[in-house]
């Protein structure tokens, strides 16, 4: 059993920052990540509002943060936390590779893409259906694609696909976008076609996706597409935290106070898994606060 003072679960911007602040405070800390550093921020085609960096690709920002924080903290990538149990004087963290004992935990487990839950969605996953334009967009360049959603992610996805030469239709269930105003103008200028008040009901094809069935206020039609990018928001990865009794809100986001403390002693949470404003700059700030709160509680 490896002994640590603090374990951070998840190495998105929040987790990486928490790890750096914890080690610099003097806590013997480790960050564990089931995939690669960066979390969903890796998928952002362009980040234009991280102060000090005019425009940066999400993966580039994540790799800059990783390069910086690993001067201080060890990050174990491709190691999945399977279980956390409360024990005397702390917690036992079991991964697919190791067992750890730690005095404190910061949960930075982020969110996962929400699915439409319609016929054909899983069948055509990787065969036309995608949740990540920066990962898969290249395969659809100059082709016909649709994007579902009306938030920042959907609009940014539509713009990115347009920049790859795609014919893009944005399908949104209401008559107004949720995305930043700044992006509305860009969408118009880029020539993205918008289907308002429309819901995707079914995906059709044979070996690959060929079309989507759209319901616009009760009238159905079929739009031929090569790809469908789903960007309808995210759900929190809060199951591990719930397993040790951490309180969640009605949408299953972890509830914290301003110091990023949860209701369980020496368990903190930061970043997207806590809901609220989901921006890289906020995740980093919350990670820093969580680590410093842990330090205050442990010394
Ligand atoms: P979001 O803001 O929650 O928007 C989700 C969109 O999908 C909404 O327009 C919603 O419609 C729609 N939607 C939800 N469920 C749906 C369903 N079942 N069927 C069809 N449409 C559905 O999510 P997001 O765009 O992923 O953004 C998440 C957070 O990250 C936000 O806080 C956002 O500001 C942030 N973000 C920021 C940037 C940036 O560049 N600053 C980029 C990406 C994300 P309604 O509008 O009708 O609810």
Predicted confidence at residue 43, as pLDDT, reads 84
pLDDT confidence tier of residue 134, bands split at 50, 70 and 90 = confident
Over residues 263-273, the mean pLDDT reads 98
Over residues 169-194, the mean pLDDT reads 94
Both 253 and 193 in one domain: the answer is no
Predicted confidence at residue 278, as pLDDT, reads 86
Q: Among 230, 265, 288, identify where a domain stops.
A: 230
Both 106 and 238 in one domain: the answer is yes
Distance 296 CA to ligand 1 centre (A): 36
Is 82 an annotated catalytic residue? no
Both 93 and 126 in one domain: the answer is no
Q: Who has greater pLDDT, 185 or 84?
A: 84
Predicted confidence at residue 289, as pLDDT, reads 98
Q: Among 182, 205, 230, identify where a domain stops.
A: 230
Residues of the chain with pLDDT > 90: what percent? 91
Is 136 an annotated catalytic residue? yes
Both 165 and 66 in one domain: the answer is no
Predicted confidence at residue 201, as pLDDT, reads 97
Q: Indicate whether 298 pLDDT > 90.
A: yes
Over residues 163-172, the mean pLDDT reads 97
Tokens 């429309």 appear where?
Answer: 198
Nearest to 183 by CA among 204, 159, 203, 164: 159
pTM as predicted: 0.86
Atom of ligand 1 nearest to the CA of 116: 18
Given CA atoms 254, 255, 260, 264 in this order, what sign does their dihedral have? negative
* CATH at residue 94: 3.50.50.60
pLDDT confidence tier of residue 135, bands split at 50, 70 and 90 = confident
Both 34 and 60 in one domain: the answer is yes
Q: Indicate whether 115 pLDDT > 90.
A: yes
Predicted confidence at residue 271, as pLDDT, reads 97
Both 107 and 145 in one domain: the answer is no
Query: What average pLDDT does the chain have?
Result: 96
Predicted confidence at residue 148, as pLDDT, reads 98
Q: Which of 135, 175, 188, 257 is catalytic?
A: 135
Predicted confidence at residue 296, as pLDDT, reads 97
Residues of the chain with pLDDT > 70: what percent? 100
Query: Which residues contact ligand 1 via a Cβ below 6 A?
Result: 44, 49, 116, 148-154, 156, 173-174, 178, 231-234, 278-279
Q: Who has greater pLDDT, 72 or 185?
A: 72
Residues 153-164: tens digit of each pLDDT: 999 999 999 999
Both 275 and 219 in one domain: the answer is no
**Which residue minimizes the CA distance to atom 43 of ligand 1?**
153
Q: Among 180, 203, 230, identify where a domain stops.
A: 230
Residues 212-256: tens digit of each pLDDT: 999 999 999 999 999 999 999 999 999 999 999 999 999 999 999
Residues 30-83: tens digit of each pLDDT: 999 999 999 999 988 788 889 999 999 999 999 999 999 999 999 999 999 999
Q: Indicate whether 88 pLDDT > 90.
A: no
User: What residue numbers bound the domain in which 40 lies?
Assistant: 2-112+234-298
3-state secondary structure 138-197: HHHCCCEEEEECCCHHHHHHHHHHHHCCCEEEEECCCCCCCCCHHHHHHHHHHCCEEECC
Both 208 and 259 in one domain: the answer is no
Both 39 and 93 in one domain: the answer is yes
Is 135 an annotated catalytic residue? yes
Which tokens belong to 127? Answer: 């065969």
Predicted confidence at residue 45, as pLDDT, reads 79
Both 119 and 199 in one domain: the answer is yes
Predicted confidence at residue 47, as pLDDT, reads 87
Both 171 and 96 in one domain: the answer is no
Indicate the number of domains in the chain.
2
Residue among 233, 272, 275, 283 whose CB has most ligand 1 atoms within 8 A, to mutate: 233
Both 108 and 241 in one domain: the answer is yes
CA–CA distance, 164 with 226 (Å, rounded to integer): 14
């Amino acid at each position: 059993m490896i002994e640590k003072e603090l374990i951070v679960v998840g190495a998105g911007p929040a987790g990486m920052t928490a790890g750096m602040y914890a080690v610099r405070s003097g806590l013997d800390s480790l960050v564990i990540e089931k995939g690669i550093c960066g979390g969903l921020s890796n998928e952002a085609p362009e980040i234009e509002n991280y102060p000090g960096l005019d425009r940066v690709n999400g993966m580039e920002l994540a790799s800059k943060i990783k390069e910086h924080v690993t001067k201080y903290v060890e990050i174990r990538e491709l190691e999945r936390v399977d279980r956390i149990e409360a024990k005397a004087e702390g917690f036992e963290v079991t991964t697919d590779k190791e067992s750890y004992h730690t005095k404190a935990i910061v949960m930075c487990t982020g969110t996962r893409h929400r699915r439409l839950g319609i016929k054909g969605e899983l069948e055509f996953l990787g065969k036309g259906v995608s949740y990540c334009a920066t990962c898969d967009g290249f395969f659809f360049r100059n082709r016909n694609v649709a994007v579902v959603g009306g938030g920042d992610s959907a609009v940014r996805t539509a713009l990115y696909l347009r920049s790859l030469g795609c014919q893009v239709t944005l399908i949104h269930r209401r008559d107004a976008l949720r995305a930043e105003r700044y992006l509305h103008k860009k969408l118009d200028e880029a020539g993205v076609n918008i289907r308002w008040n429309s819901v995707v009901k079914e995906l059709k094809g044979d070996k690959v996706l060929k079309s989507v069935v759209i319901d616009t206020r009760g009238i159905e039609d079929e739009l031929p597409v090569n790809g469908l990018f789903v960007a309808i928001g995210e759900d929190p990865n809060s199951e591990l935290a719930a397993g040790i009794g951490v309180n969640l809100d009605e949408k299953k986001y972890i509830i914290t106070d301003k110091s990023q403390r949860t209701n369980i002693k020496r368990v903190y949470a930061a970043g997207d898994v806590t809901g609220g404003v989901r921006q890289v700059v906020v995740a980093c700030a919350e990670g820093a606060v969580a680590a410093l709160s842990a330090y205050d509680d442990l010394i």
